Chains A and B, each alone.
Chain A
């Protein structure tokens, strides 16, 4: 059977406990105490494999947690339970009892993961978790001043890795995390540096989603780490599961593989013959210098010149396309566009850069000969064009086909003003695109309950969406209304993951440290059946292999020795044949088409069904890079009030799909939600600025 249906993996972990196996090897202990200070010594004496901190009882009346501290500990059955110490009350529970007591299986799996990662053998070869810590934090990289760790969490069967940044603990504070054996442990003693979690604003530390450079590098990425966690779990506690933990695999419906969506053509078409006006405060020398620089760059941009774009500079916005350079968003000179004036802003803070060599201000990262080749500038122009579309009330940036498709729906954008505990306070903006591609925005402000009798159609629609059963309205990202139905889009913690297990094994068989034997190399090279044209390459290869000095050599040595290029046909054939024969890659071809199946969920787009709900992913549209920084999130799409939700979603997805394939929202990338939402966001943004300005003006008047 040829398996043509694409299958994508997600970070949803499926597993099923084997109670007998679990209870044979492990035991769970519920520990209660009023003296939490005594716990560490008790945990050490046990020795526990892992601990989990349970919530205290919540006293609604007092509005705070009361009662003893409660912990769930995991222990090996083979280890004796230590004698009770006063004030600590351990109670052994079986797996079943624990689950009956509302402890989720995810918590127990987490305990096992902690055991795998945090435990070390002592000198007597007893596995123990020194300084057992509730959180599972794996050290990723560490410098003198910063430590980056990955926090592992499993909730609702979703395995999540989050990057956490830590800074050294400063003097008065005595407790902190201690890095040991690749984990962070909560500790008061400081045999080494103690760390404290730190919220970083601005520059966020991230860990790459995956990289294909070497196996060791791959193992340090989120995909690699996730994969290793499950693998370790299987290896260590495989006998505790009937169904071993694994990433959920689903068939992809409505899969469309990658296509290119470059934005530049549309942009240039729209700019033809236009005039760009740069606005800046001449009294602000830095800003003015940047304005001058940009104007100069526009004038010398071959693409813009060819399109007949003219440029002017001034202190005030003019009718038409304006680019205003401001110091930052709080700059009082920030001008909000009016009907005939379309203004896009550039903050000096973000983009200004003084070039000491040339003694001039320039566009940050401006290196290309053509300014339009600079991604940041291109995106700025795109924003400007979006704003013009909004102010002109007509869609011109998307192609006619796309704008036409977009017109099949109405789009609802939710701007929640209230917090969770507060009564509902919500602004909803709706976008309608008419057949002649005009855009109409409606807005409604909802406070408190919606009264059915007085509600407008828009308000009633909103009510229907908010009332959708089983959905968390706080995750709502937008809704789409068609003639036939209403669909809500929710954010989730789910992501798609590539097939890490197979990638690992491929990377492993391509590791530079692998040894190959000269004899095997020669045998394969001699056995190659190739095109007559390339026989001389084959002969040269054989000659080079014959010259090899060592009987056994690493792939690194081999690659260094061989003079022939891997791009040659004979070499490609040799690589493939050697892999066939020996299971080792001399050069990894993983980015080639043959391995496409490994990346299904991260490339192209499609629908997945998980536990009866429908999700979609919008992956990458360019060919696989050696490195990917971020994961591809899954969005949940719900057909509100539908009797056949799956079919309905599938039906509209084809249209939605094309609404994601525009290059102007995320620069040549698919958008994650349909592109009209970009217009909605820009519109509300514009509104916000206007209101602010009016408020500011009126405030100024009252002063």
Chain B
């Protein structure tokens, strides 16, 4: 097998792109073990050697996945294939160094430079040597710093950077002398230098090529770098200035290959949040500076700048706006919080939703105190609408930056028009600074403005198409989110500092921008998994890119699919996967006999000798003591769930130990949990104590592995478990040596984050496994392939996955700020993908701020997707070689199966273990949490929300006019918008009665049982929700009705807008529709005037006439025979409840059903209850024609007029 064929994939991209529109995004959802890395290396090397104009950026998440050596070997190989062997190894090196650039982090670059061999020119200079010496000192100091970014650590980073710049400056001095360049370097000199380096004919040039690829990075055909580097900057060769890697001058339209693309989202979100919090914006002081800047006399300012500012009256508009804001919200006064519980409080602005870390906030004028008071109490007089202020201010700052950039752009043009081309052009950033100066902003504010400019995705803003109606909200993508922090401190006692962090950029927009510029390839086994938490929001990207988003593996030939399908090969060769679930074996944690029970349950054939009983007793006592300790560590009632959770997590893990230890054919085992084991003294050690776990493992192995020559070993793997500078990779290597070299079985224990992704855990077949393995290599596999000598893990324990969502921290502090933003960012991402509504978020935030633990949004597509992704990635560790043990064991922790959904993946994309879990789900007929299911459930919940709201309103109609009005508003709203557009929907989104269903249909089926609705069933008894069922087309056929509806602004058709009424809304729609249409017909036919009932009789009946005849319109399409008696009694009850002056016996009710019911039975109007109630079964027939006979019409008229 030669690996995935990328020329076909790139062929697709190339066919689609043009020179004018060179961009597209190709996803390659190739499973692990399909050889995608091999394939891409092969393709890139070939292209690099055989073309001159194609460039590649190969980006990975982890440093050690860059495949530097592989790429160099492959490129060299291709070169030799084409041009014959290199003459010398130096020539080979030179070629590779000017073709392939590796962009490292600063400490790595400096590390390489200090060990480099100087060419003659440099070694001759004492100053260069001295600078190198300095660099070396700082490099060592930096490396000795602890990992944490202490203040000192950062200092040394700056020192290192400075030393590096100094060193480069010395190098440049030598270059200036050697190449006879001027001082300072002109643009022309730089071009000369680039050409010199590119020619690569001297040792010096070669040296520069090798160590300073940034001199002419744009000439390199292949650049290897990590994602962290890719989204940031690299230092310019000439100065301290940083250049973004994605800048056109560097990236150009090179093809970007993103390996493990889904993991990049999370990193990028962190970076964006980091950037946003780096420059906290002091709201009021910056605003005041801008205000005084625009209001001060303008005469003294440079006219050339001002002329730009004044174009099209923009400056005047700005001034007006600033002054208006200042006056409206008293922004010139100090704001001060009173009665705040904490010194720091956060307020988030998520589109139109404002949530707070504590209680709600209101601001009001405090005239005597000459300040504005912020408090949790609403003071109606002098209310300054705090939340509105925050929203307006966020908008203001963002538009201010845009304005500045616009001005700066114009100013640049103006200035550059007068400068020579070769000279330094005025940069946009400098132009912004100039304009800031002109506005008399202080140095600090200038920095702030520039910082905001850097974050603000101005460049990408235009790339995001405005959302069309009917599509999802995309709040985050459109407006980002804003955090406002209120901080009280002794340093400013009389005012509360209001600072803001504006998150504008999104990973999706970044990716889209990349993909507009050139070809981007995103590779990952799990890129297809639906989730916006651990993966890019591909729905949004698809919306934006349209057909420029390509599935690279779509229509993959069956033969290739087969080739990838490891499971098939396993089955064919007799390798089995067994799935066990911890939930199936239940023991009680504190009973004191749980270990005995577990052993008995999992290894029934194990018989313990009398001498082992003592050991078993020790084990039982140890476990029991620890379980008690957990309980006594968390004694309060509120923590009971935590206690049983922690206890169960231990027991689940021990189950996996027993499954491993009890069977000597399990040579290697991987145990993954959400947390890493904790070492002694670590916070919350008891929750997953390494010491305890190790003791239990040891005791169990003494019990279960007595006849093994070497006792199996437990190897916890994580950076923190090492004393020296050992890497995780080294720990793995050392651990896997046990089975391959030392005939010792090993259990690797770690976390999903550490070992669950990106690690290779196969090992060379050792004596333990020799002769017992099953060969599953594909038919065309190379006999020298190292994977032939390797074997995969014998089993894996997948502990419960807990940390999918970022948890909202308990309290707001400066430290927890990033976590707060991240949590809100995720919530808003869910809303963006219409998985939750803003109403849900607001409820969630409210609970959270009251200290009530809010339920996580587990039942969302993204949660299930992210969960599935974690599991799939972990399972990916299992298929990395060509040999398997006959039986692979997969142990599933609690809930793993419940949130596992691979329905969107093809067979060949799933390894044998993932397939085994899926098959288990299929056998048990699990209701797998597919997106569709989740959506249906969400709809049910939304309908329920409306039901509750309607019930609540209905209960108060006669008591509370406000509620009655709200109810009437709601119903009329439905009449206008049974199928609202997004904007219409958005206005009602935060009301429970506005819980429309997000679906682009104009009719659907639903099954009803009481107040429960089930969607997506096609069984009998479903009801249809549509304009037809509502009788709308029929009613509109009645003469004059259409015009009447139009004049009232009521919907006459149901459109496919993306939103549609839910069944409860539909019930209410039916009601109001009947009322308005019935009123129209009655008033038209019988010339009566119908009016609504007085407030205290509200909604008992629909209308009344002047003669105390009450009307109830029905919009029933089916006969309601069986409830006719009940209905009559109900009407009588209502009649009795009426509070009007009229005597009871003279009150009369007319019940009218509008449209002829279906069915053959014919009903006629009749009068019951001593002439008090008249029932009319239909006014119109199914064609909308008047359906009463003249006699019947007269009878009704008589009733109405009291005859």
Contact = CB atoms under 8 A, between A and B. Distances in A.
Nearest to B858: A549
A559 to B, nearest CB: 14
Of A121, A181, A232, the most chain B CB neighbours within 10 A belong to A121
Given A123-B691, A125-B618, A125-B699, A182 B927 contact: no
A121 B924 contact: no
Interface string A491-513: 00000000000000000100001
B18 interface: no
A121 B859 CA distance: 43
A231 B591 CA distance: 9
A514 interface: yes
Given A123-B691, A549-B898, A550-B895, A514 B859 contact: no
Interface residues of A, number: 31
A513 B621 CA distance: 23
Contact of A235 (B584, B593, B628): B593
B632 interface: yes
A497 B695 CA distance: 38
B105 to A, nearest CB: 41
A552 B894 contact: yes
A515 B586 contact: yes
Contacts of A517: 583-584
Nearest to B586: A515
Interface string A209-228: 00000101001000000000
B187 interface: no
B1008 to A, nearest CB: 12
Contacts of A125: 618, 622, 695, 699
B884 to A, nearest CB: 27
B1139 interface: no
Interface in B612-641: 614, 617-618, 620-622, 625, 628-629, 631-632, 635, 640-641
Given A125-B699, A232-B592, A508-B588, A551 B898 contact: yes
A552 B583 contact: yes
B617 A216 contact: no
A457 B1118 CA distance: 97
A549 B927 contact: yes
Nearest to A123: B691
A141 B635 contact: yes
A214 B641 CA distance: 12
Interface in B577-631: 581, 583-584, 586, 588, 590-593, 614, 617-618, 620-622, 625, 628-629, 631
B924 A551 contact: yes
A127 interface: yes
A41 B1017 CA distance: 75
A232 B620 CA distance: 11
B1009 interface: yes
A18 interface: no
B981 interface: no
Contact of B622 (A121, A139, A181, A214): A121
B644 interface: yes
A236 B859 contact: no
Contacts of B926: 551
B946 interface: no
Contacts of B937: 549
Nearest to B859: A549
B625 A120 contact: yes
Interface string A164-190: 000000000000000001100000000
A139 B631 CA distance: 13
Nearest to B596: A235
B897 interface: yes
B356 interface: no
B946 to A, nearest CB: 18
Interface string A136-164: 00010100000000000000000000000
B929 interface: yes
A543 interface: yes
B644 to A, nearest CB: 4
Interface string A524-549: 00000000000000001001000111
A519 interface: yes
B1138 to A, nearest CB: 35
Interface in B25-40: none
A551 B897 contact: yes
Interface residues of B, number: 41
B622 A235 contact: no
A219 B591 CA distance: 11
Nearest to B937: A549
Contacts of B699: 125
B190 to A, nearest CB: 63
Contacts of B929: 549
Contacts of B691: 123
A125 B696 CA distance: 10
Interface in B747-795: none
Contact of B640 (A141, A216, A551): A216
Contacts of B581: 552
Contacts of A515: 583, 586, 894
Interface in B1080-1100: none
A182 B1009 CA distance: 53
Given A508-B588, A549-B859, A552-B894, A235 B620 contact: yes
A372 to B, nearest CB: 37
A519 B621 contact: no
B898 A121 contact: no
Nearest to A519: B924
A510 to B, nearest CB: 12
A560 to B, nearest CB: 10
A235 B596 CA distance: 12
Nearest to B635: A141
Contacts of B590: 219
A124 to B, nearest CB: 10
A104 to B, nearest CB: 26
Contacts of B641: 513
Contacts of B591: 508
A558 to B, nearest CB: 14
Contacts of A552: 581, 583-584, 894-895, 897-898
B1068 to A, nearest CB: 23
Contacts of B593: 235
Contacts of B632: 139, 181-182
B586 A514 contact: yes
A268 to B, nearest CB: 42
A307 to B, nearest CB: 41
A216 B631 contact: yes
A535 to B, nearest CB: 15
Nearest to B618: A125
A245 to B, nearest CB: 15
Given A235-B592, A508-B588, A121 B895 contact: no
Contacts of B635: 141
Nearest to A508: B588
Given A216-B631, A549-B859, A551-B898, A236 B617 contact: yes
Interface of A: 78, 120-121, 123, 125, 127, 139, 141, 181-182, 214, 216, 219, 231-232, 235-236, 508, 513-515, 517, 519, 540, 543, 547-552
Interface of B: 581, 583-584, 586, 588, 590-593, 614, 617-618, 620-622, 625, 628-629, 631-632, 635, 640-641, 643-644, 648, 691, 695, 699, 859, 894-895, 897-898, 924, 926-927, 929, 937, 1009, 1014
Given A121-B622, A549-B927, A552-B898, 6 more contacts: A121-B625, A216-B643, A513-B641, A543-B1009, A550-B895, A552-B897
The 9 A-B pairs of least Cβ separation, nearest first, read: A552-B583, A513-B644, A550-B898, A235-B592, A515-B583, A182-B632, A121-B622, A551-B926, A551-B897
25 contacts: A121-B621, A121-B695, A125-B618, A125-B622, A125-B699, A127-B618, A139-B632, A182-B632, A216-B640, A235-B620, A236-B617, A508-B591, A515-B894, A547-B1014, A548-B927, A549-B898, A549-B937, A550-B895, A550-B898, A551-B898, A551-B924, A551-B926, A552-B583, A552-B895, A552-B897
